[in-house]
């Protein structure tokens, strides 16, 4: 059965602020689902959207799918339970930087570590929006907010680096304003068997406006970001003349044609490399030293948690002589009173 984005739109009024980056993510996901359904043969009722607390966590209400708007930080744990209980479901966790990197940090890293087959979409606006403007674990050093009137004195998390550290099998990054790219990485995430973490650099128009503007501004975006595609050279720039090379143990941005650099010197992106060393470096690239990496940075095959749980149950059950409770109650050390 073929679906259209309309099939995934609920009748609920979307209550995000006008200009919020979340609208674009919603649109991209609603566009991605028909494509995913077709590619993977998923029926409409198989989708479950789970969220925690925060602006982005309103997401499930706007989807005409099964949805669970849970409590702060716990969406990854709830999504894990859903997927383990019923591995045939397509489980999506919609979360923010406060929800999944502060209060829910523990669940996030453990979901990734287990490689449970869920898709986690992390809306990163580097601020607490729903509580009206406090700094988050991804706020840049020195960010002035209501709870940091003199600037933060905390190192921010890099979600990609965190995913690599937890031995993640899939990490992608996109920009809210890049609707097409967002849709593309959502499809990639859905196709991946294992925990797929998608970071969306998203704008909070009210409390942290233009936080990603330095790279997302249409005029400079092509020069300050790089869209990575597996098997393709790491080339970027308005004129497609810039690229990345390895300089010693670091990545370096170069211009093709300058200092004897040719296209052949440019690194080819290998998202499927098991060793995450280069992926980690790509995740950590920051403007102005380097372009910010977008697209699927890492996508490697590994066994998923939900499959292993199911297989172990099946394996043990086939070997066992105990098939029902009456068998079990009478197994082991028992005695008869006449």
Partner 1 sequence: MPHNVIDVQDVVIRFTGDSGDGMQLTGSLFANTAAFFGNDITTFPDFPAEIRAPQGTVSGVSGFQVHIGSSAIYTPGDYCDVLVAMNPAALKSNVKWLKPNATIIVDIDTFDKKGMEKAGFTTENAFAELNISDRNIIAPPITTLTKESCSICGIDPKSGVRCKNMFALGVCYFLYNMPLKHTEEFIRKKFAKNPSLVEMNIRVLKDGFNYAGNIQAIADTYIVKPSKQKPGIYRNINGNKAIAWGLMAASEKSGRPLFCGSYPITPATGILEELAIHKALGVKTLQCEDEIAGICTAIGASYAGSLAVTSTSGPGLSLKSEALGLAVMAELPLVIIDVQRAGPSTGIPTKTEQTDLNQALYGRNGECPIAIIAPHSPSHCFEASFYAAKYALEHLMPVIILSEGFLGNGSEPWRIPDMNDFPGIEPPIVQKLEEGEPYFYPFKRDPETMVPRWALPGTPNLEHRVGGLEKNHKGAVSSDPLVHQQMVNERAEKVARLARIIPPQTVVGEQEGDLLIVSWGGTYGHMLSAENQLRSDGIKVGLAHFDFINPLPLNTEEIFGRFQKIIVFELNSGHFANYLRAKLPQFTYLQYNKVQGQPFIVAEITEAINKIVK
- In which residue are the tokens 């092509």 written? 222
Q: Which is nearer to partner 1, 1 or 153 (CB)?
A: 1
Question: Out of 4, 12, 147, 239, which residue is the one contacting partner 1 (CB under 8 A)?
Answer: 12
Sole window of 59-67, 209-217, 261-269, 293-301 interacting with partner 1 (rule: CB under 8 A): 59-67
Question: Out of 20, 48, 198, 294, which residue is the one contacting partner 1 (CB under 8 A)?
Answer: 48
Q: Closest separation between CB of residue 73 and partner 1, Å?
A: 8
Q: Which is nearer to partner 1, 80 or 125 (CB)?
A: 80
Cα separation, 269 vs 56, whole angstroms: 31
Q: Nearest Cα to 271, choosing from 282, 286, 260, 261? A: 282
Sole window of 29-37, 202-210, 290-298, 317-325 interacting with partner 1 (rule: CB under 8 A): 317-325
DSSP string, 84-95: HH-TTSEEEEEE
Cα separation, 167 vs 318, whole angstroms: 32
Cα separation, 248 vs 251, whole angstroms: 8
Cα separation, 303 vs 5, whole angstroms: 31
Cα separation, 246 vs 231, whole angstroms: 17
Q: Closest separation between CB of residue 23 and partner 1, Å?
A: 19
Q: Closest separation between CB of residue 199 and partner 1, Å?
A: 21
At 30 the three-state DSSP class reads helix
| 14 touches partner 1 (CB under 8 A) | no
| 66 touches partner 1 (CB under 8 A) | yes
Q: Nearest Cα to 296, choosing from 217, 184, 221, 203? A: 184
Q: How many residues does the chain have?
A: 338
Tokens standing for residue 307: 């499959």
| 34 touches partner 1 (CB under 8 A) | no
| 309 touches partner 1 (CB under 8 A) | yes
Q: Closest separation between CB of residue 160 and partner 1, Å?
A: 21
Sole window of 18-26, 127-135, 148-156, 323-331 interacting with partner 1 (rule: CB under 8 A): 323-331
Question: Out of 9, 23, 69, 191, which residue is the one contacting partner 1 (CB under 8 A)?
Answer: 69
Cα separation, 198 vs 207, whole angstroms: 23
DSSP string, 111-163: HHHHT-S-EEEEEE-SEETTTTSEE-TTSPTT--BTTBTT---SPPP-HHHHH
Q: Closest separation between CB of residue 2 and partner 1, Å?
A: 16
Sole window of 94-102, 248-256, 295-303, 313-321 interacting with partner 1 (rule: CB under 8 A): 313-321
DSSP label at residue 191:
H
Q: Which is nearer to partner 1, 4 or 106 (CB)?
A: 106
| 107 touches partner 1 (CB under 8 A) | yes
CA distances from residue 233 to 146, 240, 279, 285 in whole angstroms, order as listed: 43, 11, 14, 17
Tokens standing for residue 240: 């497609």
Tokens standing for residue 172: 């992608």
Sole window of 25-33, 187-195, 217-225, 316-324 interacting with partner 1 (rule: CB under 8 A): 316-324
| 43 touches partner 1 (CB under 8 A) | yes
Residue ranges in contact with partner 1 by CB under 8 A: 10, 12, 43-46, 48, 50, 53, 60-61, 64-71, 74, 77-86, 88-89, 106-107, 110, 309, 312-313, 316-317, 319-320, 322-326, 328-330, 332-338
């Amino acid at each position: 059965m073929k679906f259209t984005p309309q099939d995934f739109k609920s009748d609920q009024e979307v209550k995000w602020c006008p200009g919020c980056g979340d609208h674009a993510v919603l649109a991209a996901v609603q566009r991605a689902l028909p494509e995913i359904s077709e590619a993977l043969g998923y029926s409409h009722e198989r989708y479950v959207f789970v969220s925690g607390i925060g602006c982005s966590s309103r997401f499930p209400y706007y989807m005409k799918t099964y949805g669970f708007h849970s409590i702060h930080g716990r969406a990854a744990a709830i999504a894990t339970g859903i997927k383990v209980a019923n591995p045939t479901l397509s489980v999506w966790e919609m979360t923010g930087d406060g929800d999944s990197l502060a209060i829910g940090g523990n669940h996030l890293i453990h979901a990734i570590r287990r490689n449970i087959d869920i898709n986690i979409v992390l809306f990163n606006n580097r601020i607490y929006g729903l509580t009206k403007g406090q700094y988050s674990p991804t706020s840049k050093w020195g960010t002035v907010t209501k709870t940091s009137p003199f600037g933060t004195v905390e190192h921010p998390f890099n979600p990609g680096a965190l995913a690599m550290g937890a031995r993640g099998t899939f990490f992608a990054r996109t920009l809210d304003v890049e609707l097409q790219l967002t849709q593309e990485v959502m499809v990639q995430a859905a196709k991946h068997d294992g925990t797929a973490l998608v970071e969306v650099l998203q704008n909070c128009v009210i409390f942290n406006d233009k936080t990603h503007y330095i790279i997302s501004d249409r005029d400079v975006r092509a020069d300050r970001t790089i869209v990575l595609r597996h098997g393709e050279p790491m080339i970027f720039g308005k004129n497609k003349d810039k690229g990345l090379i390895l300089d010693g143990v670091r990545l370096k941005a170069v211009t093709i044609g300058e200092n004897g650099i040719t296209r052949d010197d440019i690194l080819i992106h290998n998202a499927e490399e098991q060793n995450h060393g280069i992926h980690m470096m790509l995740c950590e690239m920051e403007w102005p030293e380097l372009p910010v990496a977008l697209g699927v940075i890492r996508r490697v095959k590994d066994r998923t948690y939900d499959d292993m749980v199911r297989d172990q149950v099946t394996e043990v059950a086939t070997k066992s002589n105990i098939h029902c409770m009456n068998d079990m109650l009478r197994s082991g050390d028992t005695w008869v009173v006449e």
